[in-house]
Chain A
Amino acid sequence: MTKLLSMNRRNFLQASAAGALVTAAPGLLSSRALAQTALTVGFIYVGPKDDYGYNQAHAEGAAIIKALPGITVVEEENVPETVDVQKTMESMINLDGATLLFPTSFGYFDPHMLAIAAKYPDIQFRHCGGLWQEGKNPANTGSYFGYINQGQYLNGIAAGYATKSKKIGFVAAKPIPQVLQNINAFLLGARSVDPTITCQVIFTGEWSLAVKEAEATNALVDQGADVITCHVDSPKVVVETGAGRGAFICGYHANQSPLAPEKYLTGAEWAWGNVYSDFVKKAQASEKLGNFVRGGLKDGFVKMSALGPGVSAEGRKAFEATQANMMKGGFSVFKGPLKDNKGNVVVAEGKAFAEEAIELESMDYLVEGVVGSTS
């Protein structure tokens, strides 16, 4: 300790020289010396901020930190995953003085955020995804993400109690691991209520394609599904179409209950406000920001919408019991014996994957009871 604190003449000179440099360069001054109090944070969204979905969830998080003292938030919506997002990041750094950036779309990471992060080593970048790799990606970058499949499992429980036809439906964007986890968790939740329930899935192929989402929702209802959920960027179309056809709805990304107050059972929502508050408080206190931050329900990364009027007393009890169980930690949605819908064993008996299990990150199957195909 004494060694660390003692300062000889040379060290003192170096320190004062560094201090002089900081004072001389106004750009450095604003980013370093004032970081204790003032902090400009940039948020970039791939779609509209009010999409009732992925982007709104982030914008709600941004709105929460906007209220914190000393924080200035700059936001830009509808930024495509091209050179546009690179220039938007640079523009926020150069013109707005942002020192902490949250490019929120999955596709912003590689090559866009990495390219800009390499160019601006003094700026902190945190990306929503889970792509950051130690040693491979720059130290001023990082990832944060939530385990939301437990939320879809809880959605499934609500759906399991609400369904009369024993058929539930899922409108999905692309057959990628994160989406497959949600589809499977939704069905497994429903099957924890009634093992005869099946879930029909339709992939639209795009993250945001309103016409196809409406068609898919109609097709699911036509085939008898009476509870619908989805994993697309904006669930608005699915929620309105499904509820309009008389189906119950489980939400995703953000709270869609205003769109269908009667039919909305519950929803798996992101709670990014907690995550962002944590990052900016650390940044204001000049602490090191985490490079790889993840969490689920119990960590406050994910939350559930309030239960709607369509949930029965019995359903509410089961829902709350499982949720309380999850809040204790160690809950496994995926546990053996578990077969995929082609009959192959995907999780052996006695094996259970907790939410952070790396095996879940490369999921490429639909579990038994899901009607649909990944290709």
Chain B
Amino acid sequence: MTVETSDPAISIASEKTASLRPVLEWIARRAEPIVIGLTAILIGLALFSLFILAVGKSPATLFQLMYTGGFGSWFSVQNSLSRAAPLLLTALCVALPARLGLVIIGGEGAVVLGGVAAAAIALPIVGTFPPIVVLVLMGIAAMVIGGIWIGLAGFLRHYRGVNETISSLLLAYIAIALMNQFVEGLLRDPASLNKPSTKPLPPEYMLGNIPGMDVHWGLVIGIVACIVSWILIEVTSYGFAARIAGGNVRAAQIQGLPVGRLIAGFTAIAGSFAGLAGMVEVAAVQGSANASLAAGYGYTGILVAFLARHNPLAIIPVAILLGGIDASGGLIQRRMGLPDATVLVLQGTLFIVILFCETFYGRFKIFNPDLWKRSL
């Protein structure tokens, strides 16, 4: 009290900035990925505009169509959300192991096997159990199979030294072959003559739409999975241990962290989310398991996870953005006469530019929280 200056205004001002400091630090820390990410997207769109100009079309029309097709109306928004739903789960299949330093690219395998497992467990029990029980069992079966499949890649990585990127990709091919074997053999509905499928789920057992929306419940499941994954990684001690192991395996081992179990566990959880995506595909869209399950969601999930920098919460907006690009792709084809590959060029350009911009993290002082601590 005695140290108080003669001018009270000064002390009030410094108190004010003092209370602002943590806010500014927080903003600085959070703003970095957002500003760099958005800048990368803008650069990507600019490069893509050059490409569009090169093929003699107007980028302005294109971006306007992308907005109309992806987000311009309630129908378009729902269209984008429907397409984003499976990507949320398959992106987690990449993002979770990535926090441990693993690159898993075989989520597609867990998706198709999850779908087959869900159909296989549902068919003998429909009619005997109420829909909610059947759907829960389907989800569990899909998650278990998906977890085993991707967990296997993690297990092989840690205990046998097999590169998880290659093994997960090869496992995906095996999974698709297994799906074809089951769908065309053991589980085939004899009535599905020219498109081998399992017997269809009765309509009352299908996972319906979110009330008031034309988007199925898979979107909610995906968002919940993203939030749960975020809590797992950012809040729990397991997530902390996983991040340590991802940063430096040696250091983690010296600290006595169970690196092997972390790798097996995280890859299994990741796979179970992809398996769940397969179950949602069967229960909400297809109604039966068939070759349409291998629609590439597992591979698009890789793109989503990398664009989201393996942050489970960031996966949500990124998946919706890609869903929107996908939704507007059709309109671009129809209105501008551009081939389907146009959207792939855009996705590829964005992907490269965003990966390139990764190198800018930590380069700009303005995003350094310490700067805000010191200068004020």
Does B296 have its Cβ within 8 Å of any Cβ on chain A? Answer: yes
User: Which of A80, A81, A95, A206 is within 8 Å of B68, CB to CB?
Assistant: A95
Interface check A107, CB cutoff 8 A: yes
Residue A295 at the chain B interface, CB threshold 8 Å: no
Contacts of B177 in A (CB 8 A): 205
For the complex formed, measure the closest distance between the CB of B353 and the CB atoms of chain A, giving whole angstroms: 24
Q: Which of B69, B194, B216 is within 8 Å of A176, CB to CB?
A: B194
Contact A107 B195 (CB under 8 A): yes
B281 proximity list for chain A (CB < 8 A) = 82
Q: Indicate whether A344 reaches chain B with its CB closer than 8 angstroms.
A: no
Q: Is the CB of A91 within 8 A of B286?
A: no
Contact residues in B for A176 (Cβ distance below 8 Å)? 193-196
Contacts of B292 in A (CB 8 A): 80-82, 107
Which of B68, B73, B75 is packed against the most chain A CB atoms within 10 Å?
A: B75
Asked if B295 contacts A82 (CB within 8 A), the reply is yes
List, in ascending order, chain B residues with CB within 8 A of A177's CB.
193-194
Least Cβ distance of B339 to chain A in Å?
7
Q: Chain A nearest CB: distance from B299 CB in Å?
A: 12
Complex Cα gap A106–B193 (Å):
11
> In whole Å, how far is B255's beta carbon from the nearest beta carbon of chain A?
45
Which one of A95, A106, A205 contacts B69 once the chains associate, using CB atoms below 8 Å?
Answer: A95
Instruction: Enumerate B195-251 residues with CB–CB distance to A below 8 Å.
Output: 195-196, 200, 216
Count of chain A residues with a beta carbon within 8 Å of a chain B beta carbon: 37
A79 interfacial by beta-carbon distance below 8 Å:
yes
Q: How many cross-chain pairs have Cβ atoms below 8 Å apart between A and B?
A: 90
Chain B interface secondary structure, helix, strand, loop or mixed?
Answer: helix
A95 and B64 CA atoms in complex are apart in Å by: 13
> A81 contacts B194, CB within 8 Å?
no
A77-B340, A95-B69, A111-B287 given as contacts; is B184 within 8 A of A174 (CB)? yes
User: Are B185 and A375 in contact, CB atoms less than 8 angstroms apart?
Assistant: yes
Among B79, B85, B285, B334, point to the contact of A90 (Cβ < 8 A): B79
Contact of B308 with A by CB under 8 A? no
* Interchain CA distance A48-B292 in the complex, whole Å: 17
**Interface residue ranges of B330-351 to A (CB < 8 Å):** 330-331, 333-334, 339-340
List of A residues within 8 angstroms of B184 by Cβ: 174-175
How distant is the Cα of A76 from the Cα of B193 in the complex, in angstroms?
27
State A347–B105 Cα separation when bound (angstroms).
50
Q: Mark A39-69, 1 if CB is under 8 A from B, else 0.
A: 0000000001100000000000000000000
Which A residues have a C-beta under 8 Å from some C-beta of B? 48-49, 74-84, 86-88, 90-92, 94-96, 106-107, 110-111, 129, 174-178, 205-206, 361-362, 375
Give B residues with C-beta under 8 Å from A: 68-69, 73, 75-76, 79, 82-83, 85, 177, 180, 184-185, 193-196, 200, 216, 281, 285-287, 290-292, 295-296, 326-327, 330-331, 333-334, 339-340
A-B contact pairs, 9 of them (CB 8 A): A75-B333, A76-B340, A78-B340, A83-B285, A84-B83, A90-B75, A90-B79, A107-B292, A174-B184
List 6 additional contacts besides A88-B330, A111-B285; criterion CB under 8 Å: A76-B333, A78-B340, A82-B281, A91-B76, A177-B194, A375-B185
